[in-house]
A and B are shown apart, each in its own frame.
Chain A
Amino acid sequence: MTLGKEEKTPAVTEDGGYLPGTHPDLPPPSSVHGPVHWIKVNLFGSVVDTALTLLAVYFLYSALTFLVGWMFINAAFTGESRNDCRAVADGACWAFIGNRLSLFIYGFYPEPERWRVDLSFVLLILAIVPVLYEDMPQRGKALTYSCLYPLIAAWLLVGGFGLEKVSTDQFGGLMLNVVIGVTGIAFSLPIGIVLALGRQSQLPIVRILCVSFIEIIRGVPLITLLFVAAVMLSYFVPPGTNFDLLVRMLIMVTLFASGYMAEVIRGGLQAIPNGQYEAADAMGLKYWQSMRLVVLPQALKISIPGIVNTFIALYKDTTLVIVIGRLDILGIGNSSLADTKWQGLSTEVYIFVALFFFFSCFSMSRYSLWLEKKLHTGH
């Protein structure tokens, strides 16, 4: 912060003063700068501002003291029933969540086999990393593993081939949400891309098929599709065969998300100028080459917010499994609340479930922001 840029060091007189015109800039006085000034201008600028500020502070204070008091200070963390909680404190009764935690996480999965769920969670994280981070070393090999992961997870969770079989109706709680959510997310993106391309195809049959599929899916609420999966399919398959209900669910959820995904991606495709398609053609690229190398990378980049939006919506829709008689994390909460020992603690359950969904969805949204920034190269 020197006045004259040509002078590296200010010229100093013998008694320690500065030569005229060489005094370095001083910071502005605190009356026009800094946090105090900012507060003065923005929070207490006028009588109305002052009143609003005080009011807001008061509300924040009372809300926060109540929340902190209820959630932490007056909360009971141990106990075997609601009455135990009430005997200790009159705030939140987190003992309930603690007491039912394994039920919330694993549902009815048999206890000695629960390590398989844990392991598949860990493997899931390992499988996601190479998909998310382009820069990781050995990404090619890691991606092969990611592609194989669904098979590994299915084997771990359902069993067979050396592991004890676990029926899918014992799935429940948080793991059920994750299984449905991750399957839907993983499979709906590629299917959605194919549908979006098909919708723009020059081949009438392909186009009509894709358009009708997308429109039908989007014209029907997910809950109806789940009913169809639960009710109607058992009339179509030959009697005696048992097409697993969870698999039907997974298929329906995936198809539902694909329909929406296709439209999101179509939006991205339409934003690509015609010149890009023509340039790719001029390079002599075949259809799939031009799509893979030129069009899709740009279209997908544009579609990221929409894609993640669909993912998040899908993830939250997983609670609808209750319509086919499966208890996800929310359903487990409801059936546990009916236990007279714990009845009446729904606020705690809802907060717990909300936190779970918030963390899942918030991390998805943060990742998408990060990815957008990273891919923001078209200056």
Chain B
Amino acid sequence: MRIIISLVAAFFMASVANAGTLEDVKARGVLNCIVNTGLPGFSYTDKTGRWKGFDADMCRSLAAAVVGDGEKVKFIPATGKTRFTLLNSKEGDVIFRNTTWTFVRDVDVKLTFLPTTYYDGQGFIIRKSKGVKSAKELDGATVCIQTGTTTELNLADYFRANKISYKPVPIESNEEARKNYLADRCDTYTTDASGLAATRATFDKPGDHLILPEIISKEPLGPVVRHGDDQWADIVRWTVYALITAEEQGITAANADKMAMDKSNPNVSRMLGSEGDLGGMLGLDKDWAKRVIKAQGNYAEIFERNVGLKTPVGLARGLNALYTNGGLQYSPPFR
């Protein structure tokens, strides 16, 4: 089944030249944004059917830049297997769906990966009662693993490199994994550490479970667009950088207007459009970055609201702190 899908997908991915996504989105007046069908903290629906989460907010920031209104987003929920197909068939304009940037996806599958919005890594969760202290002791363990993801491949690599064996229990979604893990159908569940933390937070006794210290992979998660439309890729890229720069410069949703008036900091003035015309070079207007920041706040605001320490997901900034605070989030200059 998956072979057929990937063949069909590969055939069409290879044969399509893309251009003019910006014009399409502007004409449509709505950004089509591909998100996860449900990942705590990153993308989920609330009571009224509104999409929320880190990724959903990023979609809104981008819509604010391009369409001018952060609410003009059509969310397209996709599974791990369907996300690239939906992007390449032009159902979606951009993927904000915790998608790992890898060599093969970038080069061979012909996608364009844009700046990482969340640096993650794959970990293991296990019951303390099993007495396992390190992933290297997992020989012979049954492992719940989401199919069609990079975690599946990382797992195989890791166990092969350490010459230990495992029995995979393939599952489709995080919720299914949670269920299987709690029912003890697998000894351990492996996925991105952010997902493990979020999942553990919902256990009745989170203290009985341990996230093993080994992080076995690099999972840079970020937006993806179709290959071959550089203008559109630039827009998404610099929208993400605008969010990061805004945090660096202390621009928030609340003070963006004030900061734009204040011309004392040329970096800020250039980005917010009160000096020069960076927006025009992107094919947008001068105020694009100001709208991005006003829509959902800067990177820190989006992070803290959805996945930060004060939320049930409870993630520390870690690698996702600004480079000035020891993290990896670093934006090239707006000039």
Contact = CB atoms under 8 A, between A and B. Distances in A.
Nearest to A228: B8
A335 B173 CA distance: 10
Interface string A315-354: 0000000111111000110111111110110110000000
A325 B44 contact: no
Given A335-B45, A336-B38, A231 B174 contact: no
A334 B8 contact: no
B95 to A, nearest CB: 11
Contacts of B1: 221, 223-224
A344 B74 CA distance: 27
A322 B77 contact: yes
Interface string B79-109: 1011001101111100000000000000000
Contact of A323 (B46, B52, B53, B82): B82
B37 A335 contact: yes
A44 B183 CA distance: 37
B89 A338 contact: no
Interface residues of B, number: 53
Nearest to A82: B202
A227 B79 CA distance: 13
Contact of B85 (A86, A103, A231, A235): A231
Interface residues of A, number: 41
A103 B53 CA distance: 18
Nearest to B27: A240
Nearest to B78: A325
Contacts of A84: none
B39 A338 contact: yes
Given A227-B85, A325-B78, A331-B37, A336 B44 contact: yes
B44 A338 contact: yes
Contact of A335 (B44, B48, B178): B44
Nearest to A326: B77
Interface string A6-44: 000000000000000000000000000000000000000
Interface string B168-209: 000001111011000000000000000000110111100000
A118 interface: no
Contacts of B41: 340
Contacts of A234: 89-91
A340 B45 CA distance: 10
Given A221-B1, A227-B85, A325 B45 contact: no
Best-buried of A111, A337, A341, A343 by chain B (most CB within 10 Å):
A343
B266 to A, nearest CB: 41
Nearest to B182: A344
A326 to B, nearest CB: 8
B123 interface: no
A230 B91 contact: yes
B197 to A, nearest CB: 11
B208 to A, nearest CB: 15
Nearest to B179: A346
Interface in A85-111: 86, 99-100, 103, 107-108, 111
A245 B91 contact: yes
B79 A322 contact: yes
A113 interface: no
A169 interface: yes
Contacts of B282: none
A34 B327 CA distance: 81
A325 B12 contact: no
Given A227-B85, A346-B178, A103 B5 contact: no
B193 to A, nearest CB: 17
Contact of A325 (B40, B49, B82, B311): B82
Given A82-B202, A230-B89, A334 B175 contact: yes
B49 A107 contact: yes
A103 B38 contact: no
A224 B42 CA distance: 29
B9 interface: yes
A108 B49 contact: yes
Nearest to B28: A242
Contacts of A334: 37-38, 173, 175
B220 interface: no
Contacts of A51: none
Contact of A340 (B36, B201, B204): B201
Contacts of B239: none
A375 interface: no
Interface in B30-84: 34, 36-49, 52-53, 74, 76-79, 81-82
B228 interface: no
Given A82-B202, A107-B49, A335 B38 contact: yes
B196 to A, nearest CB: 13
A183 to B, nearest CB: 21
Given A107-B49, A337-B38, A344-B178, 18 more contacts: A103-B45, A169-B76, A227-B82, A228-B8, A231-B8, A232-B12, A234-B89, A323-B79, A324-B82, A325-B77, A325-B82, A327-B77, A335-B38, A337-B175, A338-B38, A343-B199, A346-B179, A347-B179
18 contacts: A82-B202, A99-B47, A224-B5, A227-B85, A230-B89, A231-B88, A324-B86, A327-B45, A334-B38, A335-B43, A336-B44, A337-B175, A338-B44, A338-B45, A338-B174, A339-B45, A343-B40, A343-B178
